[in-house]
Structure 1
Amino acid sequence: FSYRAMLLWSVWSVILLLTTVDAAEEEDVRAGCSTAVNDLVYIIDGSWSVGVSDFDTAKQWLINITSQFDISSHYTQVAVIQYSDTPRLEIPLGKHQGVAELIKAIRSISYLGGNTQTGRAIKFAVDHVFASSQRGNLVKNRIAVVVTDGKSQDDVVDASMEARAQSITVFAVGVGTEITTSELISIANKPSSTYVLYAEDYTTIDRIRDSMEQKLCEESVCPTRIPVASRDEKGFELMVGMNIQTKAKKIPGSLVSETAYALAASTDITENTREIFPEGLPPSYVFVSTLRLKGISSKLSFDLWRVLSKDKAIQAAVTLSGKDKTVTFTTTSTTEKEQKAVFKTGFQVGTLYDGKWHQIKVLVRHRQVTGFLDDQRIQELMLKPVEPIYINGETQVSKRRGTDITVPVEIQKLRLYCDPHQSERETACEIYSFFNVLQGDRGEPGLTGEPGLPGPKVRLGEQQSHGRFE
């Protein structure tokens, strides 16, 4: 009887566990910067050169940045170290489980005064604060933000190298004119353009708040990198992530050096959002697509890219409409089901349906979104506050609005960059004539011809390319 009871109990436990897992998967799950699982440690300068007033300003800066995160045992945990001659642990990691409680604790930190031992503070963070985390492997991101207004009086190199060796991402924030750039670079992760920030003084430090918030969010939700020229950019290579390269037919691209893929009506580009954006979307990003619409009715409207909840509600989408001659960006809203930014551009968007290669770029920022077509700015529109996306639905490419029917298109590029500044670097050179670009005249998108020679132009891919322009 005892054995049978134990067996029945074991079976019941397994059934209960599976039921719980299934129920959890059915629940709507939002993900974004606020829900990232971080151990975030601020290491702030409390030396004599800072002063009480500026120290209070630095504390408010921490509060402003921290407020974007969900502070809890499940998501972001925060610690604060103040340092001068010695480091002092002001707030232990995970002590405060809520934003209001954490803000109150930060405001109550008293100013130390003393010399500047930055290296000692970083070592203390590595050996004692990050090491004290109770969440172990559950923490996806370990981040340190070092704020200093002057040159350290001890060595920062060894401590910083040890931090990186333990997979701790280190940001260095230099304030004022007494900072040493080389020291900040040695403290921070590489590249320094991403992990080193500067403020003229503490009165202007809030000017880099948005930049700091964006970089922390990128670190939290953008785990992958896209090889671009000689550098890597944080983002999502959707051609690979969405398995377009294995599902669609390979075809010549806009240049001989480029490869594109043709989606047929039978090609279903659908993936679970958890697999594509496991931590959601950053608050700012750049969506880029190089595509060609051949034989498609200009009256057709379709979602080039969309993220759906499990109930098919749009979380993010870029929609093309030849009939209305519009590009529409859809995103979430804190006050409504969704919000739309409609770029009404008349003939400019109508050219998308001319059977040639074009590039669409959508730059999304906190409160505004800007549309571009072939490097030409279409329009800039305002956005209301958004909320994290649901990630337990599906992400799709080239679908008729409101259906799962695939619209046949040819796609050469489909990317989402986490750094909004990538918008300035990501140009549409790939769709223009190599020689025309060199001469300063881009001419007609998707066409190329021998400069100075008579005769009609031909489409790229129908003659040998004379090189690749990037």
Structure 2
Amino acid sequence: MKLVLLWIIYVILKVTLPLSYSMAVSNKTACPLLRIDGYGPRQGYREKSDYSGYDLAEHFSLRKTSCGGEKTCFKLGSTPLIKDTQKIFTAGLPEEYSITALFRVRRNTKKERWALWKTLTRPGVLQNSIIIDGEKKVVEFTAKENGGSTLHYTFKSRELHPLFDRQWHKLGISIEETIISLYVDCKLIERRQTAKKNSIDLQGRSVIVGRASDDRPVDIELQRITIYCSPKQAAQENCCEVSDGMCNLQGDEELPISSSAAKAQQNTELTPESKCYCFPNKGEKGSQGEPGSPGEIGEKLLAQTFLPTPPRHGIDCGSPVYTLADNVALEIYL
């Protein structure tokens, strides 16, 4: 009897231990090697480049078709592109990552509202999404914060408008722990501070390039959609596929930045002292100068004076700032 019990325990351990081990491995975020044909990160043309991440077009088994000239794109069909999240991210997905997509909208879909990518829990509750709204010409990002509340951010910059002009464009989004950065054609458009976001539940489902209303594939030409296991990859991409003129940037050059993003970055980086537009404090009084020669007799005229006004930006710089007081005048005889 004792031998039978030991044999049963042995069989149970033999079956369950490998399953537990494989589950632990799949939950790690040591992402698989991702090979991309064509272009390396911001270094011009290369035959192949190695990164870690997931080619969503490959995982959704999209077939290639011609989309004009020498370009090929993926045939999206009419059936919703839905797949179990765990079957896509077989080695897990880190909390910080980036997603890039190369596409162009068509005439009849340039005002569509659609999800580039979204994930749902097993019961169908939205976890996160990247929505492209052609009617409003905005990009929206939704996620769950650690407390369970929904985080929603809308990028409204006018520099997003080219996404909807029916030309090829590359959209990149970097998701960090408390920052979301959005790129269009390898240029930083906007960066947002966020609350800490939950990691994605791998037990649910994922949808790509689906209409917001019914998840059916939107009628666009899609050349690439990739999730990288590094949030920095969106900033390291080049845009050779969009235009040869965007291939000249080298890895040591600074990333192009939009005017709105530069303004926001300047506001966050400047210290209060560097925003002080005041004149410096006066030094010590100098020695008496030589008397000058008498001037010529002048005419009577009306002149404006400079009067002190309060310091700008609420910063006490130690001396008043002087501006032209247009409403005050003083008669002076020269």
TM-score (norm 2): 0.60
CA drift at 1:142:
9.4
Q: What is residue 180 of structure 2 aligned with on the other side? A: 369
Separation in structure 2 between the aligned mates of residue 361 and residue 418 of structure 1, nearest angstrom: 13
Alpha-carbon deviations, 1:413-435, whole Å to 9, x = none? Answer: 10000022322321222110x36
Report if aligned partners of 1:278, 1:391 keep a CA contact under 8 Å in 2: no
Q: What amino acid is aligned across from residue 107 of structure 2 in structure 1?
A: G
State the aligned residue count.
Answer: 225
Q: Distance in 2 between matches of 1:421 and 1:374?
A: 15
Amino acid at match of 1:314: L
Give the partner amino acid of 1:251.
Answer: S
Counterpart in the other structure of 1:388: 199
Is the Cα–Cα contact under 8 Å of residues 109 and 218 in structure 2 kept in the other structure?
A: no
- Asked if 1:138 is matched to 2:20, the reply is yes
After superposition, the Cα gap between the structure-2 partners of 1:303 and 1:402, relative to the gap in structure 1 and judged at 3 Å, is: same
1:235 and 2:53 equivalent?
yes
Q: CA deviation at 1:438?
A: 5.5
2:119 maps to 1:307: yes
- Residue 280 of structure 1 and its aligned partner are, at CA, apart by 4.2
Name the CA distance, whole Å, in 2 between partners of 1:435 and 1:388.
Answer: 37
Residue 85 of structure 2 is aligned with which of 257, 267, 273?
273
Structure 1 unmatched runs, 5+: 1-133, 144-217, 441-470
Q: Does structure 2 conserve the Cα–Cα contact (< 8 Å) formed by 1:341 and 1:369?
A: no
Query: Secondary structure of 1:410's partner?
Result: strand
Matches within 5 A, 1:317-396: 317-346=129-158, 348-396=159-207
- Structure with the higher fraction of residues in helix conformation: 1
Give the distance between the partners of 2:85 and 2:212, measured in 1 at CA.
18
Q: Distance in 1 between matches of 2:155 and 2:223?
A: 23
Label 1:276 to 1:336 Cα distance change in 2 as closer, same or farther (>3 A).
same
Higher RCO (Cα < 8 Å, 6 or more apart): 2
Give the TM-score of the pair, scaled to structure 1.
0.44
Q: Is the 8 A contact 1:280 1:388 kept in 2?
A: no
Number of the residue aligned with 1:260: 73
* Matched residue, 1:425: 236
Task: State how far apart, in whole Å, the 2-side matches of 1:438 and 1:352 are.
Answer: 22
Does residue 220 of structure 1 match 2:35?
no
Is the Cα contact below 8 Å between 1:267 and 1:406 reproduced in 2?
A: yes
Task: Give the partner amino acid of 2:192.
Answer: L
Task: Tell me the secondary structure at the aligned position of residue 241 of structure 2.
Answer: helix
User: Structure 1's 325 and 435: CA in aligned 2 closer, same or farther, altered over 3 A?
Assistant: closer
Per-residue deviation, 1:390: 2.4
Change (3 A) 1:227 1:381: same
Q: Which residue of 2 aligns with 1:293?
A: 105
- Say which SS state the counterpart of residue 234 (structure 2) adopts: helix
Give the structure 2 partner of residue 43 of structure 1.
none
Identity, in percent, stands at 22
Q: Secondary structure at the match of 1:431?
A: coil
- Write the deviation string for residues 210-249 of structure 1: whole angstroms up to 9, x where unpaired: xxxxxxxx9922442211455421101111011122xxx5
SS across alignment from 1:352: helix
Q: Which has the larger radius of gyration?
A: 2
Per-residue deviation, 1:391? 2.4
Asked if 2 retains the 8 angstrom alpha-carbon contact of 1:301 and 1:322, the reply is: yes
2: CA distance between counterparts of 1:336 and 1:402? Answer: 24
2: distance between equivalents of 1:321 and 1:369? 18
Quick check: 1:298–1:350 contact (8 Å CA) kept in 2?
A: no
CA distance in 1, matches of 2:76, 2:54: 20
Q: In the alignment, what sits opposite 1:149?
A: none
- Amino acid paired to 2:52: K
Which residue matches 1:57? Answer: none
Query: As a proportion of its length, which structure holds more strand?
Result: 2
Q: Confirm or deny: 8 A CA contact 1:280 1:389 kept in the other structure.
A: no
Q: Distance in 1 between the 2:183 and 2:18 partners? A: 44
| 1:273–1:395 Cα contact (<8 Å) kept | yes
Over 3 Å counting, the alpha-carbon distance change for 1:437 and 1:423 in structure 2 is closer
Measured at CA, do residues 436 and 329 of structure 1 come closer, stay the same or move farther in structure 2, by a change above 3 Å?
closer
